Amino acid sequence: MNPRAWTFLSRRSPYSNAAWEKAVLQSSQRQEGGQMTVLVTGAAGFVGSHVSLALKKRGDGVVGLDNFNDYYPVELKRARASNLEQAGIFIVEGDLNDQNLLMKLFKLVHFTHILHLAAQAGVRYAVKNPLAYVHSNVGGFVTLLEQCKNSQPQPAIVYASSSSVYGLNSKVPFSEDDRTDHPASLYAATKKADEVLAHTYNHIYGLSITALRFFTVYGPWGRPDMAYFSFTRNIVEGKPITIFQGPHGEELARDFTFIDDIVKGCVASLDTALPSTGSGGKKHKKAQFRIYNLGNTQPVKVGDFVSILEKHLKKKAIRNIIPMPSTGDVMFTHANVTRAKHDLGYNPSTDLSTGLHIFVKWYKSYYKEGAGHEDMLKGYKPY
Ligand SMILES: NC(=O)c1ccc[n+]([C@@H]2O[C@H](COP(=O)([O-])OP(=O)(O)OC[C@H]3O[C@@H](n4cnc5c(N)ncnc54)[C@H](O)[C@@H]3O)[C@@H](O)[C@H]2O)c1
Ligand SMILES: O=C(O)[C@H]1O[C@H](OP(=O)(O)OP(=O)(O)OC[C@H]2O[C@@H](n3ccc(=O)[nH]c3=O)[C@H](O)[C@@H]2O)[C@H](O)[C@@H](O)[C@H]1O
């Protein structure tokens, strides 16, 4: 079947038709060199679209799942999906909470691995719409874990946690063994809940699970709700940007991490994941349980990050500096990646200036500066 026909197919919700099944099966086929068959949830998202392409490129079978929600413009998700279709990856359009859909999918394809990236992301939007986080990050995750636990054989799971789980932790850099029991946002609380739920399913059912704590990821085809993206748009349009500062005028800092490094970390985690050890809902022996930081290890103050953007955009920002609203931001993040280096060979190699240069180039070509991006953040007002 020609993947060009898939757009239409994936938008038609019924999954009980022959063409839909054929597309799923075709997409799941491994090519030469491929070792695994992976279900990527959140495949139309920023990170999911990049990792799906990387897996497909080396021959793995990849099937996507995404509900194409409108947290940010759906047009961008469709454009990413179209890139995936051209590469031969079918994205099933549906919600993680749809048990029947998951059952049907898992019956059709024997997934060796799940890369679970679908979630309600964004720290500040949680103040506005907390239940969206509970729905996708808690309900959706448990629905997926239930399906995996019941599968025979069970797949190995690698999923996205977040640097936000460190919450109010003040010990730097953040190490995986540091406390994560004082979240600063509801988003962080749901990501922490996921780690605890993951441990439970690993313990009771023998699911092999790896949690990846990503640190503020940026890059081409990125997320319009994130600062690097919305700041770029405003600078290009000559509109002010709002920079948060701490209660005593301190600057916030983030360990900004380039997408290519995150992709390598995800792929290495899949490659080193051991099989799950349960069957028929029962554990036979202890299964692998891992948590890794995937960051850049070089935090940058938000003001300095804006200066780098200005340099690449060749335009000054109009900076509006305001006290941080009480919407869940933390003052700084900083990853210790020793464990990921040792176990995964993870070695972040893109510095912020190089990565932002690549992002700005993509942004300008995608939005053709000055035209076509007016609606990019339509309706988006997180705080
Ligand atoms: N980008 C970052 O800086 C960052 C940092 C830390 C953690 N993370 C985590 O990494 C993962 C990927 O993030 P991203 O930046 O690609 O976000 P994204 O919003 O671009 O991608 C998530 C995708 O999941 C889909 N989705 C959401 N809820 C769903 C549901 N219930 N059912 C099916 N699909 C659903 C969305 O439509 C979206 O396409 C998320 O779990 C996020 O929390 C991201
Ligand atoms: O690593 C994570 O776990 C998280 O990474 C990301 O969150 P953040 O680090 O908050 O990224 P982002 O919004 O780009 O703000 C960057 C900086 O700009 C500051 N910021 C932001 C907006 C603004 O208008 N002004 C401002 O100063 C802001 O205070 C911050 O200091 C993901 O969105 C999230 O899904 C989550 O997973």
Q: Is the pLDDT of residue 372 over 80?
A: no
Q: Is the pLDDT of residue 76 over 90?
A: yes
Comparing CA positions, the residue from 86, 80, 104, 81 lying closest to residue 24 is 104
Comparing CA positions, the residue from 180, 341, 349, 352 lying closest to residue 253 is 352
Which pair of tokens denotes residue 295?
Answer: 């960051």
From the CA of 218, give the closest atom in ligand 2: 14
CA of 176 to the centre of ligand 2 (A): 20
Residues serving a catalytic function are 187
66: Cβ below 6 Å to ligand 1? yes
If DSSP codes are grouped into helix, strand and coil, which group holds residue 94?
coil
If DSSP codes are grouped into helix, strand and coil, which group holds residue 178?
coil
Pinpoint the alpha helices (H) of 67-110.
74-86, 99-108
The set of long-range contacts for 301-307, using a CB threshold of 8 Å and a minimum separation of 24, is: 301/251, 301/252, 301/253, 302/227, 302/243, 302/244, 302/251, 302/252, 302/253, 302/254, 303/243, 303/251, 305/227, 305/228, 305/254, 305/256, 305/352, 305/356, 306/231, 306/241, 306/243
pLDDT value of position 373 = 44
Residue range 3-215+259-296+334-348 in CATH 3.40.250.10: no
Atom 10 of ligand 2, nearest CA residue: 123
Atom 10 of ligand 1, nearest CA residue: 160
| pLDDT band per the 50, 70, 90 thresholds, residue 126 | very high
CA of 48 to the centre of ligand 2 (A): 19
Cα-based angle 339, 222, 269 (whole degrees, multiple of 5): 25
Pocket test of ligand 2: the residue of 216, 301, 304 to mutate, having most ligand atoms within 8 Å of its CB, is 216
Length of the chain in terms of residues written: 383
pLDDT over 70, % of the chain: 92
From the CA of 257, give the closest atom in ligand 1: 3
Using CA atoms, how far apart are residues 268 and 259, in angstroms rounded to an integer?
14
337: Cβ below 6 Å to ligand 1? no
Span of 12-21, 191-200, 250-259, 308-317 with lowest mean pLDDT: 12-21
pLDDT value of position 307 = 98
From the CA of 223, give the closest atom in ligand 2: 33
Ligand nearest to the CA of 211: 1
Q: Residues 275-299: what's their mean pLDDT?
A: 95
CA of 123 to the centre of ligand 2 (A): 7
pLDDT value of position 281 = 83
How many angstroms from the chain centroid is the CA of residue 59?
A: 22
Average pLDDT for the chain: 94
- Is this complex's ipTM strictly greater than 0.95? yes
Q: Is the pLDDT of residue 231 over 60?
A: yes
| pLDDT band per the 50, 70, 90 thresholds, residue 280 | confident
Ligand nearest to the CA of 123: 2
Span 54-66, pLDDT tens digits:
999 999 999 999 9
Which pair of tokens denotes residue 14?
Answer: 């019924």
Ligand nearest to the CA of 120: 1
42: Cβ below 6 Å to ligand 2? no
